[in-house]
Amino acid sequence: MAKKEILICAGTACLSAGAEEIKDRFEEEIKELNLTEDYEIKTVISNTGCIGPCSLGPIAIIKDDSTFYGHLKTENVERIVREHLLEGKIVEDLLTEEDGEKIEDFKEIRFMKKQKRIALRNTGIIDPNKIEEYIERDGYQALKSVLNNLTPLEVIEEIKNSGLRGRGGAGFPTGIKWSFAHQAEGEQKYIICNADEGDPGAFMDRSILEGDPHSIIEAMIIAGYAIGAEQGYVYVRAEYPLAVKNLKIAIRAAENNGYLGSNIYGSDFSFNLEVRVGAGAFVCGEETALIASIEGKRGQPSTKPPYPANSGLWGKPTVINNVETLANIVPIINQGSDWFSSIGTEKSKGTKVFAVAGDVKNTGLVEVPMGTTLREIIFDIAGGIAEDKGFKAAQIGGPSGGTIPKEYLDLQIDYESVKKVGAIVGSGGLVIMDEDNSMVDVARFFLEFTEDESCGKCTPCRVGTKRMLDILEKILEGKGRRQDLDKLEKLGNTIKETSLCGLGQTAPNPVLSTLKYFREEYETLIKQAEEVN
Amino acid sequence: MEIIIDNKKIEVDKGKTVLEAAKENGIVIPTLCHSSFLEDVGACRMCLIEDLADGKLKTSCTTEVKEGMEVLTKSERVEDSRRTILDLLISDHPLDCMTCEAGGNCILQDLAYHYGIERSSYGAKVERRFEIERNNEFIELDPDKCILCGKCIRVDQDIQCSDAIDFVDRGFKTKVGAANDEGLGGEDSTCVFCGQCVELCPTGALSYIPSQNKGREYDFEKTVTTCPYCGVGCQLELKTRDRKVIEVGSVYREGTPNPYGEACVKGRFGYDFINHPDRLKKPLIKRNGSFEEAEWEEALLLVAEKLTEIKDEYGGRALAGLSSAKCTNEENYLMQKFMRAVIGTNSVDHCARLCHASTVAGLVKAFGSGAMTNSIAEIEGSDVIFVIGSNPTENHPVIGSKIKKAQKQGTKLIVADPRQIELSSLAEVAIQHRPGTDVALLNGLIHVIIDEGLADQKFIEERTENYEYLASVVEDYTPEKVEEITGVEAVKIKKVARLYAEADKAAIYFAMGITQHRTGTDNVLSVANLALLTGNVGRESTGVNPLRGQNNVQGACDLGALSNVYPGYQSVEDPEIKEKFARAWETEELSEEVGLTVVEIFKQAGKEIKGLYIIGENPVISDPDQRHIEESLDKLDFLVVEDIFLTETAKFADVVLPAACFAEKEGTFTNTERRIQKVNQAIEPPGEARADWKIISEISTRMGYQMDYNSPADIMAEIAEITPIYGGIYTDRLGDKGLQWPCKDREDPGTKFLHQGEFARGKGKFHPVTYIPPAEEVDDEFDFIMMTGRMLYHFHTGTMTRNSEPIDKHEPDAYLEINKKDAKKLRIKEGDRVRVTSRRGEVETNVRIGERVQPGQIFMPFHYAESPANRLTNPVLDQDAKIPELKVTAVKIEKVKR
């Protein structure tokens, strides 16, 4: 008899909410009741990685019937085991209630209903430390069909046709990036997975690596085959110990199963993968800084061109793809580029994972088709504003992004539309703010982050962000002057125009976009200051 | 291709940056972090231009030109951005220009002036954010004045290759710092105080401590000249004020030994000996055992009289002269001419006898010419560099940096040295053979190369002779046998042999570790055998390269300050050559007999030799067996010494003549790569001191042989007439970069590397040699082998560096290096005093414990008069070259109880 599984979310958020204790309680209970022997029910508790609805954690899903239990407390476990597992009765009063209704099925909770999970297809569902569970869900089949049936150029063509664009923030077409590296001259090439996820609040990459590392490994092998690289690196920040651990376990398993190493699937193609742990500098998510860091140098960006596709790691052609981008590769190969490009909008294909945070009822990771409106994300998936307050603004794209005011609630979220209103999709940070938030304070929060994370190499970013922060602080301390706003705007624009890398070029965005949509908040603070003096 | 800058069409080469294109066309773009020879990083953002193709602002230093490109360098947008960037920099910069060392020599100040930024619109910097760092004698770092252009870091990492500094922390908190942010003088700092960072600093963040408050850039007169220290021959800029050298700046000139302004701590900071109060300012005559100041005329007459007297009574052979590797070519030429043409003896020699006599002897036999076969600039082009018996990072630091740079760029390094030197850590293979076992080691390598079929048969057949004999001699030197002799594992010997032989371009660099042995010539011949065997000579970046230790030791040899040759290595025993010189010099005094060498002169003192004329040498400290040297000097009837200080040797003199130093005269030096470079006068000599060439001329004239040269250039013209390898060397031809000999006539551009197509002697000749152990080995009493040598901060007998305040403060004490195992056995701790005794004497010194030397061996630098290593050394000579065995002395060590 197949084992029945209880899925307990073991993502970082749930762990900190006590998932470990919940798991222990389940184990104790099952042991105590001798479920396996007496009732011939096989019950497995898996470390499932992140399931997504973090605000409902700790979470357990009874996989058999997809029953969802959220906000678990250790004292509730006994009942679930006794009533649900033993007697087959759903514990009604422990079910999550939404809009006055008790929801049984995980797929039916509001959080899941409007989502389309491609990148997150396995996270929370499989045990990341068991390669067989990945294989069971068609794992390493895409690799097999690529190696058996497709030339590298055909793989690149397929990715190009899918319309997949980089999910790390810049949105550069992945297939084109691959084709540049493919065309670049040189025997030695590299593929790097950028897992230096640094935007405050964004954690989709971490969740994928923690929960579905094989999907990244498989994608990197395919990418390596496509561009002609036999060596890959995953650059992960040290703050993600679980991701590093699960990834290393997965790499070893892939090696033992012959998916990594020499002559994969009997082909001429060989590929090896190593993990490189970064020290957590935000700027190391920038391609050239990331490369410098892997090379053992100080993690500082350098001028592009040359682009890594031509001269990257150790001066060799290198493709750097973000985790979420890579997570889309296997589904595209398995289900075809036509399927993928049928999802999303004209220029932005597929889905995007957002890390929804802030003043909403359900925070957590959501994956939606490109083109989903902000309203759908906030009010359908995330359950609306907490305490039913009024919505004020959404900060999208992290510290490089901008603020979207409520008049754009029906904005379709895709690369182009978001850019048009002065923000960026970025890596998918989405902070929802209710009417109580001070937008000047929000701007200060993000600028403080970039000012601190500036590598210090170029003048406008190093000194410019510091001076902008000085002015913001002055305004918040009630010492602002009318001319400060023009100064902020002018300096912000100069920093954007003259900084060396993406960090500086986007650092002023949170200030500039709040100045654009919420200028009156700044003015009010300044007026108050002037009245006092 | 054609591009348009500021609406002006410009022709420019592909691959150039917009900044370069603009510069070539006289369009000024401001920069702070750019340097023409460092990698461009686009950090300061001052050089922004507007690209009309995409409307973006780009850094011109990192933007390559593209056909049809159109850019604006001074649009309002560009200038506005630059102004904002400057405004930001100044918002974090102290406004203390009035007292800043860099005032008048500060790019930030210039740009602020240009853009009219009196103070920042973001407020003034009032509070210090960082501490000033000055925990060393040489360089001060004030991070508050730093604009983080990073030029110091790039020159440190990419040119000097010391990796001493980098950025510390990030963002607004970023600063430049040394290891563990403990300052350049910190315990773990790898800074070697070359000063290149200071030279490139665009502000006053980095400054020289010794010259603080002594003047600003615009106060100085500047004279480019050649460094007076080692044989690299760096070009330096002496900055002088009120007859004093205040600072030494860099010279950036393609085609010189140090094109990127490289220098070492000695060249950069070892200049205050020039204005030292103890400089000799008047002639001194010893009367009743003590010196009295005298007028020049009296002193010169006395010298002329005394020399004439000895010559008349005993013949010219009773007199000898020591010329000087510190003096100019012209002076060395005059000295040997004086000794030969006026006194009538070939007993004129100099300290090359103690360093590279064996090189000259060996390489002349093997190749026909005894100098570095290649040029310094060729170092980077070698596939393999084999350093044996040379410690370039300390003794030829600029060459050391170039080797490190080559290694960084992929050149494989082999290091063979009894000590673990800095380069050992970078080597593909580093071996520590026992002192004095070089022949065995090299024969072992040759054995493996022949055995494994790695020899270059074509080269051997076409360009060499005597190969068969070599093959038979090395047959016995199996790696296993060589392991027994040298202590180097057989597998490593094989590895080195393969690495060297399989390289397309392998170059050997060697120095005193090879030459200062009683088998010095054999060692050099073995080195030559190895190169000939593998065809590694006669091409660019591959050859045999002896590194010369003194600024002009090459020139002193070239110009005949050797007892067996006239200028240009022309034999004194050849009657035709003698005849040629007799005619040219209009003299009948020339001798056909080879003269006495340095060590022999002292052996004969009081016997054959009655009088000695020494210029700029200090044998009491530099020569082996100090007690013997002192006794010899005492035995002389007459000793005249010309020097800049009253040296340990000068104290023995009857007459001391005050000489001008390099900064106070004109002439030329020839560096280790055979490059004749100009020495230019920066200041007047102190007191009545005179240039040596003038003094020699005066003495000669007073002895009845008229010498009335108007200038060193006159002397060089005479040299060119009678010295084939210097045939095209005329002072007016030397220009900015000098010329490399051989240079046969006025049309000849000089020679970059030797033996192309044909060796100087025709075919390269193998000289098989067998291994002979050093003269002294350890026994029950003398149970350590002592090696001597130099260290980074001091030079030779210390006449210059010990008289340099910052340098002597930095390295004030003599020491010996001992292995930690031996230290434990002897129960001595770091800094303890020990007595070192050899069969010839004893000295006391301090202990430095570590693993640079192997157990059973010690190393002592020989610079220190208070602990003179040469009181211990063995004057046993190499039979060919008469070089003493300074590298292997048996000694015992005892702890001194306080």
What is the Cα–Cα distance from B840 to B827, expressed in whole angstroms? 25
- The answer to whether B22 and B5 are in contact (CB under 8 A) is yes
Beta bridge partners of B539: B542
Report chain A residues whose CB lies below 8 A from the CB of B85.
Answer: 459-460, 494, 498
Helical residues (DSSP H) of B636-677, grouped into ranges: none
What is the CATH T-level fold of the domain B357-438+489-546, as seen in this structure?
Answer: Dimethylsulfoxide Reductase; domain 2 (3.40.228)
Find the mean pLDDT for residues A305-333. Answer: 96
Which of B62, B166, B172 faces A462 most closely, judged by CB atoms? Answer: B172
Residue of B nearest to A466 (CA): B172
Residue of A nearest to B123 (CA): A467
Å from A323 to nearest chain B CA? Answer: 26
Peptide bond preceding B619 in cis form (omega within 30 of 0): no
CATH code, residues B2-74 = 3.10.20.740
> Options 3.10.20.600, 3.40.50.300, 3.90.1720.10, 1.10.8.80; which CATH number does A352-432 get?
3.10.20.600
Q: What is the pLDDT of residue A38?
A: 47
Report chain A residues whose CB lies below 8 A from the CB of B89.
Answer: 459, 463
Report chain B residues whose CB lies below 8 A from the CB of A456.
Answer: 148, 167, 169-174
With 90 as the cut, is the pLDDT of residue B448 above it? yes
Q: What is the 3-state secondary structure (H, E, C) of B771-786?
A: CCCCCCCCCCCCCEEE
Q: What angle do CA B93, A286, A350 make, to 5 degrees?
A: 145
Cβ contacts of A466 within 8 Å, gap of 6 or more: A451, B171, B172
CATH code, residues A439-532 = 1.20.1440.230
What is the Cα–Cα distance from B159 to B37, expressed in whole angstroms? 9
Cβ contacts of A437 within 8 Å, gap of 6 or more: A359, A392, A393
Q: What is the 3-state secondary structure (H, E, C) of A327-386?
A: HCHHHHHHHCHHHHHCCECCCCECEEEEEEEECECCCEEEEEECCCEHHHHHHHHCCCEH
Report chain B residues whose CB lies below 8 A from the CB of A455.
Answer: 170-171, 174
Cβ contacts of B622 within 8 Å, gap of 6 or more: B351, B354, B796, B797, B862, B870
Cβ contacts of B849 within 8 Å, gap of 6 or more: B818, B819, B820, B823, B828, B829, B830
Q: What is the pLDDT of residue A41?
A: 45
Domain with CATH 3.30.70.20 in chain B: 124-269
Q: Express each pLDDT in B710-719 by its tens digit.
A: 999 999 999 9
Nearest to B376 by CA among B395, B404, B403: B403
Nearest to B875 by CA among B600, B487, B483, B469: B600
Write the single-letter amino acid at B352.
Answer: A
Average model confidence (pLDDT) across chain A: 91
Banded model confidence at residue A1, pLDDT cuts 50, 70, 90 = very low
What is the Cα–Cα distance from B263 to B266, expressed in whole angstroms? 8
With 70 as the cut, is the pLDDT of residue A2 above it? no
CATH code, residues A4-109 = 3.40.30.10
Domain with CATH 2.40.40.20 in chain B: 784-895
Q: What is the pLDDT of residue A42?
A: 47
- CATH 3.90.1070.10 holds for A131-339: no
What is the Cα–Cα distance from B110 to A416, expressed in whole angstroms? 45
- CATH 3.20.20.140 holds for B784-895: no
Q: What is the pLDDT of residue A39?
A: 45
- Collapsed DSSP state (helix, strand, coil) of residue A186: coil
Longest pairwise C-alpha distance within chain A: 80
B57 touches chain A (CB under 8 A): yes
Helix (H) or strand (E) segment spanning residue A4: strand A4-8
Q: What is the pLDDT of residue A406?
A: 92
User: Residue-wise over A370-397: b if at least 16 C-beta within 10 A, else e?
Assistant: bbbbbebbbbbbbbbbbeeeebbbbbbb
Residue with token string 């790898």: B190
Banded model confidence at residue A299, pLDDT cuts 50, 70, 90 = very high
Find the mean pLDDT for residues A336-344. Answer: 96
CATH architecture designation of domain B304-355+552-723: 3-Layer(aba) Sandwich (3.40)
What is the Cα–Cα distance from A497 to B58, expressed in whole angstroms? 9
- The answer to whether B716 and B670 are in contact (CB under 8 A) is no
Q: Locate the DSSP E strands across B711-781.
A: 739-740, 764-765
Write down the ipTM of this complex.
0.88
Å from A306 to nearest chain B CA? Answer: 10
Which of B40, B150, B172 faces A466 most closely, judged by CB atoms? Answer: B172
Helix (H) or strand (E) segment spanning residue A485: helix A482-498
User: Residue-wise over A118-138: b if at least 16 C-beta within 10 A, else e?
Assistant: bbbbbbbbbbbebbebbbeee
B92 touches chain A (CB under 8 A): yes
With 60 as the cut, is the pLDDT of residue A267 above it? yes
B172 touches chain A (CB under 8 A): yes
Which of B48, B166, B171 faces A498 most closely, judged by CB atoms? Answer: B48
Q: Which residues of A touch B (CB under 8 A)?
A: 281, 283, 298, 300, 302-303, 305, 451-460, 462-467, 470, 487, 490-491, 494, 497-500
Helical residues (DSSP H) of B453-519, grouped into ranges: 457-463, 467-474, 479-486, 490-502, 512-515
- Would you state the structure tokens that stand for residue B406, as one six-digit string? 């080559």
Residue of B nearest to A493 (CA): B81
- Would you state the structure tokens that stand for residue B37, as one six-digit string? 């020879």
Q: Express each pLDDT in A77-136 by its tens digit.
A: 889 888 888 888 899 989 988 878 899 998 888 888 889 999 999 987 888 999 999 999
Phi/psi at B76 (5° precision): -60, -35
Domain with CATH 3.40.228.10 in chain B: 357-438+489-546
Residue with token string 């690495």: B499
Cβ contacts of A82 within 8 Å, gap of 6 or more: A29, A33
Q: Express each pLDDT in A362-394 by its tens digit.
A: 888 899 999 999 999 999 888 889 888 999 999
Q: Express each pLDDT in B222-262 by its tens digit.
A: 999 999 999 999 999 999 999 999 999 999 999 999 999 99
Å from B57 to nearest chain A CA? Answer: 6
Q: What is the pLDDT of residue A53?
A: 78
- The answer to whether B631 and B514 are in contact (CB under 8 A) is no
Taking each continuous run of H as one helix and of E as one strand, the counts in chain A are 25, 15
Pairing of strands B235-241, B221-226: antiparallel
Q: What is the pLDDT of residue A9?
A: 81
Q: Locate the DSSP E strands across A248-301.
A: 272-278
Among A62-76, A390-404, B200-214, the minimum mean pLDDT is found in A62-76
With 60 as the cut, is the pLDDT of residue B840 above it? yes
Instruction: Tell me the C-alpha to C-alpha distance, in Å, between residue A264 and each of A217, A326, A428.
Output: 13, 19, 34
Find the mean pLDDT for residues B733-744. Answer: 94
pTM for the structure as a whole = 0.91
Top residue of A311, A463, A466, A491 to mutate, by most chain B CBs within 10 Å, is A463
Å from B31 to nearest chain A CA? Answer: 12
Q: What is the 3-state secondary structure (H, E, C) of B572-600?
A: CCCHHHHHHHHHHHCCCCCCCCCCCCHHH
Q: What is the pLDDT of residue A49?
A: 59
Å from B37 to nearest chain A CA? Answer: 18
- The answer to whether B138 and B195 are in contact (CB under 8 A) is yes
Q: For residue B158, give the DSSP letter.
A: I
CA-only gyration radius of chain A, Å: 24
**A456–B174 C-beta distance less than 8 A:** yes
What is the Cα–Cα distance from B611 to A124, expressed in whole angstroms? 99
With 70 as the cut, is the pLDDT of residue B683 above it? yes
**B172–A454 C-beta distance less than 8 A:** yes
**B48–A459 C-beta distance less than 8 A:** no
Pairing of strands B235-241, B244-250: antiparallel
Banded model confidence at residue A45, pLDDT cuts 50, 70, 90 = low
What is the Cα–Cα distance from B658 to B688, expressed in whole angstroms? 7
**A303–B45 C-beta distance less than 8 A:** no
B89 touches chain A (CB under 8 A): yes
Å from B5 to nearest chain A CA? Answer: 20
Å from B41 to nearest chain A CA? Answer: 7
**B148–A303 C-beta distance less than 8 A:** no
Domain assignments of chain A as residue spans, ordered by start: 4-109, 131-339, 352-432, 439-532
B170 touches chain A (CB under 8 A): yes
Instruction: Tell me the C-alpha to C-alpha distance, in Å, between residue B103 and each of B443, B625, B853.
Output: 60, 53, 47
Nearest to B218 by CA among B99, B100, B96, B105: B105
